[in-house]
Amino acid sequence: MEPVTLVLYVVIAAALILIITAVVKSITVVRQAEAAVIERLGRYQRTAAPGLTFLLPFIDRIRERVALWEQVVSFPPQPVITQDNLTVSIDTVVYYQVTEPRDAVYEISDYINGVQQLTTTTLRDVVGGMSLEEALTSRETINSRLRRALDDATGPWGLRVVRVELKAIDPPPSIQDSMERQMKADREKRAMILTAEGHREAAIAEAQGNKQAAILSAEGAKQAAILGAEADRQSTMLRAQGERAAQYYQAQGEAKAIEKTFAAIKAGRPTPELLAYQYLQTLPQMAQGEANKVWMVPSDFGKALEGFTRMLGAPGEDGVFRYQPSPEDGAATSRPGADDPDVADWFDTSTDPEIAKVVAAAEQRADAAVAEPESNGTGRHASEGGLPPDSL
C-alpha cells in the first residue's frame, strides 16, 4: 500500500471518530427530578428540563446536574450553651429541596455546607436564649424557629427548608444524673400524692356510701314505723268496730230476748202470787256472789207487795188476791189475744228452741204457782214457809 493511501485512511478514520464524538456530546438525557445547568463558552446558557437535550459540540457543556427532590441531611452533634451556662449537645436533621438550580450553583459554592453552618449558628442563637429545662421541653418551638430562620437565609440560594428536627438534646453526665434524681423524686412525690388522693377519694366514697346507707336505713325504719302504726291503728279501729258491732248485736239480741220474755210473761197473765214467788226464788241467786256475805230483806217489802197486789188484783174465794184483767184486756189466756197481734204472731210463729224452752218453763212455773195454793187450801206457799196472804 502506498503511503498516500495510508494517510488518507487515517484522516478518514479520524474524521469519523470526530463526527461520532461530536454527535455523542451534542445529545444528552436529563433524568426525572433533575435539572442540568448548561453553560456556553463558560457562561450560563440555560437550565435543561428532564428529557432529551441537544448541545452544541465543543461549545455547550453541562456545568452541574442538580437534584430536585426533597433531601435529608443529618448533621453531627453540635455543642450549644444554654442561658443558664450549661453545655448541651444537639443533633439536628434538615429536610430541604432545591427550587432554583441556577441559584444553587452560582449563588453559593457548596449549599450543603452552607446549610450546615447556618443551622449551627441559628441553633446556638435560639437555644442560647433558653434555659436547659426550656430547651428540653420546647422542641416544637425550636424546630419552628430554626425552620423559619433557615428558610429565610437559604431563599437566595435557591433552596427551600421544609422542616428541621432535633434528634437529641444531651446534657452533661452530671446534669443527667441530677435530672434523673430529680425526676425520680418527682415521680415518687406524684406517686405519694396520687396514693393519698386515692385514699382520700376512697374514704370520701365510703363515707358517702355509709351516709346513704344510714339515710336509707332511717327512711326504711321511718316508713316501717309509719306503716306499723297505720296497721295498728287500722287493726285497733277494726277491732273496736268489731267489738262495737258485737256489743251492738249482743245488745240487740238481749233486748229482743227481754222483749220476747216480757211478751211471753205478759201473755201468760201472771198473778201477784206468781210474781212474789219468782222474786223469792231470785233472792238466793242474788246472794250467791263471793262478795255477798249478808243479805237483808227490807221490812216494808211485804207491805209494798201487798199494796201492789191489792191495786192490781181482787180477792178470790180463798181470800188470795189475784190479777184481774180489765174489761178492755179480755179474759186471761196463756197466749196473746187479738188485742196484742205483734206478740201473738211472734209467739205462734217463733221456732227458736231456746225461746220455746223459756216460754215452756215460765208456763210450768206459773201453773205450779197457781196450783200450789189451791192444793194447800191455806193461801200460803210451801216454799215460803207458810207466809200468810196478807203478808204478801
Please spell the DSSP secondary structure of 186-206, one letter per residue. Answer: HHHHHHHHHHHHHHHHHHHHH
pLDDT attached to residue 254: 72
Domain count, the chain: 4
Q: Are residues 329 and 367 in the same domain?
A: yes
- 275 and 384 in a single domain? The answer is yes
Q: Report the pLDDT value the prediction gives residue 182, as an integer from 0 to 100.
A: 84
What is the pLDDT at residue 334? 41
Domain that holds residue 83: 71-171
Q: Is 321 exposed, middle or buried (0-12, 13-18, 19+ CB in 10 A)?
A: buried
Asked if 39 and 63 count as a contact pair (C-beta separation under 8 A), the reply is: yes
Max distance between CA atoms of the chain, in angstroms, equals 222
Residues 201 and 148 in one domain: no
In the listed set 232, 262, 292, which residue is the last one of a domain according to the structure? 262
Question: Same structural domain for residues 115 and 100?
Answer: yes
Q: Which residues contact 120 (CB under 8 A, 6 or more apart)?
A: 75, 78
Q: In the prediction, which pLDDT does 370 show?
A: 52
Are residues 322 and 337 both part of a single domain? yes
Q: Residues 224, 324: one domain?
A: no
Sheet containing 60-67: give its strands across: 43-48, 34-40, 60-67
Dihedral pair phi/psi, residue 297, rounded to 5°: -100, 130
Spell out the per-residue pLDDT of the chain, length 392, in tens. Answer: 567 787 788 888 888 888 888 777 788 888 898 999 999 988 999 999 888 888 888 888 889 999 999 999 888 888 888 888 888 888 889 999 999 999 999 988 888 888 888 888 888 888 888 888 888 888 888 888 888 988 888 889 999 999 888 888 888 888 778 878 888 898 899 999 999 999 999 999 999 999 999 999 898 888 888 888 888 888 888 888 778 777 777 777 777 777 777 677 666 666 666 666 666 666 666 656 555 555 555 555 555 555 555 555 556 565 555 555 544 444 444 444 444 444 444 444 545 565 566 556 666 765 665 565 445 444 443 333 333 333 33
Report d(CA 121, CA 80) in Å as an integer: 10
The alpha helices in the chain, defined as continuous H runs, are 3-26, 101-106, 111-127, 132-137, 139-154, 173-268, 272-286, 301-312, 341-349, 353-376
Q: Which residue's C-alpha cell is 256475805?
A: 293
How many other CB atoms are there within 10 angstroms of residue 391's CB atom?
Answer: 14
Indicate if 132 and 238 belong to the same structural domain: no
| 279 shares its domain with 315 | yes
Sign of CA dihedral 196, 199, 201, 203: negative
Q: Which of 361, 392, 387 is nearest to 275 (CA)?
A: 392
Q: Strand pairing partners for 48?
A: 36
Type of residue numbered 234: Q
Residue 254 grid cell: 238481749
| End position of a domain, from candidates 119, 147, 171 | 171
Residues 365 and 280 in one domain: yes
How many residues can be counted in the chain? 392
**CATH number of the domain enclosing 16:** 2.30.30
Q: Which of residues 67, 88, 105 is at a domain's end?
A: 67
Residues 195 and 229 in one domain: yes
- State the Cα–Cα distance between residues 172 and 178, nearest whole angstrom: 10
User: Quick one: 44 and 82 in the same domain?
Assistant: no
What CATH number did the domain enclosing 123 receive?
3.30.479.30
Q: 371 and 275 in contact (C-beta within 8 Å)?
A: no
Reported pTM? 0.44
Which of 75, 73, 49 lies closest to 159, judged by CA?
73
Closest CA to 320 of 287, 352, 272, 386: 272
Task: Quote the pLDDT of residue 242.
Answer: 77
pLDDT at 387: 37
Note whether 76 and 145 are same-domain residues: yes
